[in-house]
Amino acid sequence: MLNLTCRAFFGYSGDISPLVYWMKGEKFIEDMDQSRIREGEIKTIREHLGEQEVSITLTIDSLEEVDLGNYSCYAENGNGRRQANVQIVKRGKSISI
């Protein structure tokens, strides 16, 4: 099992709730095999005066070669959108990040 956690900090923007989500390439996680790959709920780690730090976890059960590729975590609010990327690759006989 592989767990990838994305954390994002949002300064005050007047938005009620920031949006954080994972994608594989151009595909939303909810469009993939939900029995093995799933996205957790957005969790608030810290909140103060309208600023928030949140996290969201991507879980892949029984990692397979079809899971290789680039995964991106997106964080967005009224001020814009940012992303962080992680690549899952095969090195020899093992799969690594």
pLDDT tens string 13-68: 666 667 899 999 999 998 988 889 999 999 999 988 888 899 999 999 988 889 99
Asked if residues 1 and 60 have their Cβ atoms less than 8 Å apart, the reply is: yes
Residue 14: the pLDDT is 67
Per-residue pLDDT at 18: 77
Question: For the chain, how many structural domains are there in total?
Answer: 1
Q: Provide the domain limits for residue 33.
A: 2-96
Asked if 97 and 86 touch (Cβ cutoff 8 Å), the reply is yes
User: What is the C-alpha separation between 97 and 95, in angstroms, rounded?
Assistant: 7
Higher pLDDT among residues 7 and 14, named by residue: 7
pLDDT at 35: 87
Q: How many CB atoms lie within 10 A of CB 29?
A: 19
Encoded tokens for 47: 């909140």
pLDDT at 58 (0 to 100): 97
Average pLDDT of 1-12?
A: 90
| Strand order across the beta sheet in which 80-91 lies | 27-28, 19-24, 69-77, 80-91, 94-96
Domain at 39, CATH number: 2.60.40.10
